[in-house]
Amino acid sequence: MSKPNKKYIFFTGGVASSLGKGLASASIACLLERRGIKVSMLKMDPYINVDPGTMSPTQHGEVFVTDDGAETDLDLGHYERFTSLTLTKASNFTSGQTYLKVIENERDGKYLGKTVQVVPHITDEIKRRIHLAAEGSEVLLGEIGGTVGDIESLPFIEAIRQFAHDVGPSNVLFIHLVLLPYIGAAGEIKSKPAQHSVKELRSIGLFPNIIICRADREVDDSIRQKLSLFCDVPKDQIFTSIDLDSIYQLPMDFHQQGLDEKITELLGMWTAAPSIDDLKKVIYNYQNPTKQVKIGIVGKYTELIESYKSLDEALHHGAIANQVEFVPVYIDAEEMESQKRTESLLKDVNGILVPGGFGERGTEGKINAIKYARENNLPFFGICLGMQLAIIEFARHVCGIKDATSSEFETPGTPVIDFIDGQSKDVAKGGSMRLGAYNCELKPKSLAREVYGEAMISERHRHRLEVNNDFVSQYEKSGLTISGKNPELDLVELIELEDHPFFVACQYHPEFRSRPFSPHPLFASFILASMGELK
**389, 354 contact by CB (below 8 A):** yes
**Annotated active-site residue in 62, 313, 493, 511:** 511
CATH number at residue 471: 3.40.50.880
**Annotated active-site residue in 231, 384, 399, 440:** 384
What is the pLDDT, as a whole number, of residue 428? 44
Q: What is the distance between the alpha carbons of residues 33 and 52, in angstroms, rounded to a whole number? A: 28
Same domain, 455 and 509: yes
Q: What is the distance between the alpha carbons of residues 10 and 153, in angstroms, rounded to a whole number? A: 13
**416, 391 contact by CB (below 8 A):** yes
Same domain, 247 and 159: yes
CA distances from 147 to 15, 19, 376 (A): 7, 10, 49
**119, 90 contact by CB (below 8 A):** no
CATH number at residue 142: 3.40.50.300
Q: Is the peptide bond before 355 cis (omega within 30 degrees of 0)?
A: no
Task: Judge whether 399 counts as a catalytic residue.
Answer: no
Say if 118 falls within a structural domain: no
Say if 100 falls within a structural domain: no
Single pTM value for the model:
0.92
Say if 125 falls within a structural domain: no
Task: Judge whether 337 counts as a catalytic residue.
Answer: no
Identity of residue 69: G
**63, 52 contact by CB (below 8 A):** yes
Same domain, 67 and 171: yes
Say if 460 falls within a structural domain: yes
The mean pLDDT values, 10 residues at a time, for the chain of 535 residues are 77 88 96 96 94 72 89 93 96 96 95 93 97 97 94 95 96 97 83 94 95 94 94 96 94 96 95 90 95 92 70 95 94 84 89 87 91 96 96 96 92 90 51 83 96 97 93 96 96 95 97 95 97 81
Say if 120 falls within a structural domain: no
Collapsed DSSP state (helix, strand, coil) of residue 55:
coil
Look at residues 270, 301, 324 and tell me which one is the last residue of a structural domain: 270
What is the pLDDT, as a whole number, of residue 455? 97
Q: How many domains does the chain have?
A: 2
Same domain, 262 and 242: yes
Look at residues 270, 295, 311 and tell me which one is the last residue of a structural domain: 270
What is the pLDDT, as a whole number, of residue 344? 86
Say if 127 falls within a structural domain: no
Same domain, 174 and 316: no
Q: What is the distance between the alpha carbons of residues 464 and 199, in angstroms, rounded to a whole number? A: 47
Same domain, 305 and 395: yes
Say if 112 falls within a structural domain: no
CA distances from 354 to 42, 204, 343, 426 (A): 31, 47, 16, 27
Provide the β-strand partners of residue 71: 65
In a 10 Å sphere around its CB, with 0-12 CB exposed, 13-18 middle and 19+ buried, how is residue 325 labelled?
Answer: middle
In a 10 Å sphere around its CB, with 0-12 CB exposed, 13-18 middle and 19+ buried, how is residue 96 labelled?
Answer: middle
Look at residues 270, 301, 329 and tell me which one is the last residue of a structural domain: 270
Q: What is the distance between the alpha carbons of residues 440 and 457, in angstroms, rounded to a whole number? A: 5
Task: Judge whether 511 counts as a catalytic residue.
Answer: yes
Same domain, 364 and 286: yes
Same domain, 152 and 85: yes
Same domain, 389 and 521: yes
Identity of residue 473: S
Same domain, 171 and 246: yes
Helices and strands (DSSP H and E) totals, the chain: 18, 23
Q: Quote the distance between the C-alpha of residue 5 and its chain's center.
A: 31
Q: What is the distance between the alpha carbons of residues 189 and 199, in angstroms, rounded to a whole number? A: 19
What is the pLDDT, as a whole number, of residue 357? 80
Say if 111 falls within a structural domain: no
Same domain, 399 and 481: yes
Domain limits at 352? 282-530
Same domain, 263 and 287: no
